[in-house]
Amino acid sequence: MSHGLRRLFSLAVVFAIAFLAVILIRNGPDGVTRFFKWGQPGSENGFRPEKYTLPDKAPLEPGDVELLARLDAEYAKLTEAVTPSVVSIDTTSVRAERQIDFYGRQSIRNVPTAGQGSGVIVSNEGHIVTNHHVIAGQIPGQERIQVRLHDGRKFPATLVGDDATLDIAVLKIDGDGKSFQPLKFGDSTQVRRGQLVFAIGNPFGLGETITQGIISAVERTLSETQRGLFQTDAAINPGNSGGPLVNLRGEIIGINSLIFSTDTKNPGFQGVGFAIPSNDVKETLFSILEKGRPVRGYLGVEMRTGEQGVTVSMVLPGGPAEAAGLRADDVVLNYDGEKVTAVDQLIGLVQRTKVGKKVPIQVWRGGETTLDATIAEANPEQAAARRRDMMQAMQAIGVLVGDLSAQDRARGFTGVMVTEILSGSLAAPLLRPGDLIVALNQAQVSNAREFYSQVAASASVQPTIIHFIRDSQARQVSLPPLPKKEEEPERTK
C-alpha cells in the first residue's frame, strides 16, 4: 500500500472514531446501537416497534363494589324507562317586526323565526307538555311545530292551549295511541331537598340527553310569576326547556323551565336550574284540556308585605274578599291552614285554590279573627281593566321599576330598581334611574307588581312617601296625590 493510501485510510479511521464518539456522547450506547441497526427491516425512518403488554384484569371485581354496580344498572334501567316519553320540539314561524326607513316611514315585516326545546308525552292520546316560551312569539296561523320522538318518528303538532304565567303549553300529536308511551305525574308536594332527580331533554339540539343531580331547594321564588319552583343541580341547558324532571320511580315531578346564569348573552349551566312543580303543571293541563284555558283562583285584594304577614292595601269591590268582610289594613296571617309570610306566596296560594272552595283566612285586626272567603275564578278582562287603570296612574306618576336580579337578592338587597323616569311626570324632579326603592308609606316593597299596585292605590287618595337608597344613603320623597277625574255631566236624551 502506498504512502498516500495509508494516509487516507488513517484519516478515515480517525473520522469514524470521532463520529462514533460524538454519537456516544450525545445519545449514549443506545445511539450507537440505533446507528448500526438503521436501515434494517422493521426500522423504517429509524423507528423500532415497541414491546407492550396490556392488563387483562380489572382492578376490582363486581362483587367488590356491589352497591355501585347495582346503582349503575338501576340508573341505566331508569333511563331506558323514561326516555321514550321525552320528545324534541322544533318550531318555525314568522314574527312581526317594526322597521323605519331612511325617510322615517314605518312598516311591518314578517321575519322567519325558529325555536327548539323539549317536551314530554303525558297521555295515550298524544298530549305533550312543554314550556310556553318554547312555542311563544309566533303569529297565530303561521306557526309550524314539529315533534320528534325517541325512535326518530316525526309528527306535526297543534297547540291545544298555553299558560304564559306558569310557562306551560300543551301540544297534541295524532297517531296510533298505542305507539305513544306517556309518563305519569308524581306528587310534587312529596319532593324533598336532597333527593335524587334526573333531567331529560335535548340541550343545544344535540339530541336526547339525561343528567342526574339532586333537589337543591324547594319553593324558590324568582319573580311574581316564577314562584314555588324546584331548584336542582342536574345539568339543564338551553334546549332542555319543557323536558321532565323525574324521580327514582320515573315519575314527572317537574317541568324544566329555566337556568340561572351570569352570562346573559351566552347562558349555560352553572349548577342552578329550575323546574315547575308537577302539581301546578297538572292543574293547568287539566284546565286547558277541559276548558281550553288556564283557570286561577281570585280573592280581590291589593296587598303588601308586612312584618308579621301580608297587609291588605285595598279590597276590590264585588270580589270574594269584600263578601268575606276583609278590610284595608287587615294583616293576613294564615290562608287555608298555611302561614302567610309574603305577597307572592299568598298570590300563589289563591291562584292554586279550586274555584268555589270556601277558604278560612286568619287576619289580625286589633286581635285575631277568622273569615271565610269563597274563591272565584280570575277574570282576565277585569284584570286587564285593572292594569289599564294602574298604567294610567303610573303614567302620571312617571316611575318605571324592575325586579332585582337574583344576584342582587343573593347579596341581601330588597326592593325594586328605578329603570326610567318619564319627563314631565310627578317623579321627574325627585327620582332618577338607579335609585333603589325599598318602601312606600313605611310599607316594604318586594317586587315591581307590588310597587305598582301600592303606588296606584295610594296616589289616588293621599300623598305617597317613597323611601329609597341613592349613593348608599337612605332618602325619601313625597309625591302629591293624583288629581281626581271630573265626572262628565249626564247627557239628556
Distance CA 134, CA 169 (A): 8
Distance CA 160, CA 95 (A): 20
Coil, strand, or helix at residue 66?
helix
Distance CA 300, CA 219 (A): 24
Coil, strand, or helix at residue 54?
coil
User: Do the Cβ atoms of 480 and 256 come closer than 8 Å?
Assistant: no
Active-site hit among 90, 162, 163, 167: 167
User: Cα separations (Å) of 304 from 147, 344, 447, 453, 469?
Assistant: 44, 9, 10, 9, 20
How crowded is residue 38: how many other Cβ atoms within 10 Å of its Cβ? 12
Active-site hit among 241, 313, 446, 453: 241
Residue 349: closest CA among 366, 370, 332: 332
According to DSSP, the residues that pair with 317 across neighbouring strands are none
User: Do the Cβ atoms of 172 and 158 come closer than 8 Å?
Assistant: yes
Residue 217: closest CA among 191, 243, 235, 247: 191
User: Do the Cβ atoms of 431 and 399 come closer than 8 Å?
Assistant: yes
Active-site hit among 127, 132, 133, 467: 133
Distance CA 320, CA 346 (A): 15
Annotated catalytic residue 241: yes
User: Cα 362–365–371 angle (5° rounding)?
Assistant: 35
User: Cα 149–151–156 angle (5° rounding)?
Assistant: 35
Distance CA 315, CA 331 (A): 12
Distance CA 492, CA 281 (A): 54
Distance CA 169, CA 175 (A): 20
Give the β-pairing of 196-201 and 209-220.
antiparallel
User: Cα separations (Å) of 392 from 157, 158, 423, 456, 485?
Assistant: 40, 38, 15, 9, 12
* DSSP per-residue string spanning 420-437: EE-TTSTTTTT--TT-EE
Distance CA 1, CA 23 (A): 31
How crowded is residue 27: how many other Cβ atoms within 10 Å of its Cβ? 13
- Active-site residue set: 133, 167, 241
